[in-house]
A and B are shown apart, each in its own frame.
Chain A
Amino acid sequence: MARQAIGLIETRGLVPLVEATDVALKAANVSVVGTRATGTGLISVVLTGDVAAIRAATEAGGAAAARVGELVSVEVLTRPHDELEKIMPAG
């Protein structure tokens, strides 16, 4: 199975992140690995899927978050290293 790409969306506040995740899940065939609140009001979601789906989902999700609240960061890793598995948030 081709290795999965990962997409990261980070917002300030939970509401923009939930909106972003809802839009991302509807935008393409991606799934949620987990979320991580870093304690300063920032919270991030990790999505996984094939490269095209992750690009589409993170773009749509990021735009949705910005409409609802504060979008802090959007990142796509097309070929994440296997070691990253160790630091992925629990599902």
Chain B
Amino acid sequence: MARQAIGFIETIGANPSIQAADAMCKAAGVTLVGTVDIGSGYVTTIIEGDVGSVKAAVDAGAEAANAAGELVAAHVIPQPHEELVPAMLG
């Protein structure tokens, strides 16, 4: 199975991140890996799936986050290093 791509939407505030998560899951066949809070309202939602789906989902998520609040970052890593997800997201 090809390694999964991972996608991120980082917002200020939980509400926009939940709107983005909802939009991402509805936009394409991706799975929700989880969310990470690093303080000062920075909330990142992480999804996983094949590259095409993750890109489409992150685009939809960015739009939803913008509509609901402040989008900080929208990003896709097509082929993450295998140590990345365990090391970063526990």
Contacts and interface: CB of A to CB of B under 8 A. Distances in A.
Interface of A: 13-19, 21-22, 25-26, 31-32, 34-35, 37-43, 45, 68-69, 91
Given A15-B10, A32-B83, A32-B88, 12 more contacts: A14-B10, A14-B38, A17-B88, A18-B84, A18-B88, A21-B84, A21-B87, A22-B77, A31-B87, A34-B87, A35-B88, A42-B39
Instruction: Decide if the interface of chain A is mainly helix, strand, loop or mixed.
Output: mixed
A89 to B, nearest CB: 11
Interface string B78-90: 0011011001100
B50 to A, nearest CB: 18
Contact of A37 (B8, B38, B77): B38
A45 B73 CA distance: 19
10 contacts: A13-B38, A14-B36, A15-B10, A15-B73, A17-B88, A21-B84, A35-B87, A35-B88, A38-B39, A41-B39
Interface residues of B, number: 20
Interface of B: 8, 10, 36-42, 44, 72-73, 75, 77, 80-81, 83-84, 87-88
Contacts of B37: 37
B77 to A, nearest CB: 6
A40 B42 CA distance: 9
Contact of A41 (B42, B75, B84, B87): B42
A28 B45 CA distance: 28
Q: Which 5 A-B pairs have the closest CB atoms?
A: A39-B39, A32-B87, A37-B38, A41-B40, A15-B73
